[in-house]
Amino acid sequence: MSKAAELASLATASETALSNRNIVINGAMQISERATSVAISSDGYHTLDRWRTAISGLGSWTQTQSTDVPTGAGFASSLKMDCTSADASPAAGDYLQVATRIEGQDVQRLKYGTSSAESMVLSFWVKSTKTGVNVVSFYQDDGAKQISGSYTIGTSNTWEYKTITFVGNTVNAIANDNTRGFQVAWYLGAGSNRTSGTLRTTWTAYATADEAVGQVNNADSTSNDWLITGVQLEVGTVVTATPFEHRSVGQELALCQRYYQTINPKVNSIFAAGYQNNSERISQVHRLGIEMRTEPTCTVNGTWTVSGCDQPVFTSFSKNVVSTHILKSGGAGSAYYHANGTDDFFSMDAEL
């Protein structure tokens, strides 16, 4: 985008707030609480916060938080998908997508379900070894509706800036609550089950065959990589797309921790200790700095060093209070536990 076009875009966008306009969380790929590199073998959140991978067949991939970014765009990180085992002839049910999910109460500005429903513009930087057409697909839970758009990689292994407009849904409102409003999914490849229909560019009843029509197969060679950063979703059209809204690391981390947090004790330092009478538990309550979307699923990760007690148990009380406890082995007495290494931590998951 030229400087003149950028200024014109900002002038048009001044009718709405210039801050908090990006609906996507962690679009600059700054926050990665779980890991920075994972071999993908299942659906789920593996590395970068708020970015979920769904895979069925379509080769093998390693996902990383990469430092490969577009020059001069102000980004330090990207999400990288590296094909490690190729699938040149996908089965009908094969697919791979990288997606983000958004709460219903965070998209009320779109005015869906009314005659004033707003168009959205999705902008992002992408780099791919494989040239050709790729698909981005939206799924709206309320009404079970979908819409898709496409972009084209013109030059192999070169960062390219893309913008796609999606019209508003005037029929189906999005519930104003903490459940999933919609999912935005970038396809890397798909078999005929998802490519044999017609690409829907207006909101219509969901049909699997229409999700990724025209999508190239990024899994056809182990030389293939696909990277993305600078993802922004805002009210408007391609004409009114604004420059990326850079948020501080602190702001982005707080937004991410509504969905996932960890407690990482210092290695080899006693994390909890106490004296137990008879069969009572030794408990420690933790109040979270960021209230989570819903009461989280709590997990003990690793094998902790314990003295006189069982391995710690981790449970939730509410959206902002969790507890660890240990049970003394053999009745009354003192006990403690501590982390052996960085693989020993507690995780809290309230993802959509």
By CB neighbour count within 10 A (0-12 exposed, 13-18 middle, 19+ buried), where does 37 fall?
middle
Q: Rounded to an integer, what distance in angstroms lies between the CA atom of residue 53 and that of residue 98?
A: 5
Q: Rounded to an integer, what distance in angstroms lies between the CA atom of residue 96 and that of residue 188?
A: 6
Residues 284, 323: contact at Cβ < 8 Å? yes
- Token pair for 127: 């780099």
- Of 253, 246, 220, give the one whose Cα is nearest residue 231: 246
- Compare 342 and 78 and report the one with higher pLDDT: 78
Please provide the DSSP assignment of 175-222 as one string: PSSSSEEEEEEEEEEE-GGGTSS----S-EE--GGGSSTT---TTS-T
Beta bridge partners of 328: 309
Please provide the DSSP assignment of 48-77 as one string: STT-EEEEESS-EEEEEEE----TTSS---
Q: What is the pLDDT of residues 153-183, one digit of tens each?
A: 999 999 999 999 999 999 999 999 999 999 9
Residue 108 above 80 pLDDT? Answer: yes
The DSSP call for residue 309 is: B
Sign of CA dihedral 11, 12, 16, 17: negative
Q: Rounded to an integer, what distance in angstroms lies between the CA atom of residue 315 and that of residue 323?
A: 5
* Bridging pattern class, strands 95-103 and 52-56: antiparallel
Q: What is the pLDDT of residues 11-20, one digit of tens each?
A: 444 444 578 9
- Compare 309 and 118 and report the one with higher pLDDT: 118
Residue 260 above 90 pLDDT? Answer: yes
The DSSP call for residue 109 is: G
The DSSP call for residue 244 is: P
Q: What are the phi and psi torsion angles at 6 (to 5°)?
A: -65, -45
Residue 10 above 80 pLDDT? Answer: no
Residue 2 above 60 pLDDT? Answer: no
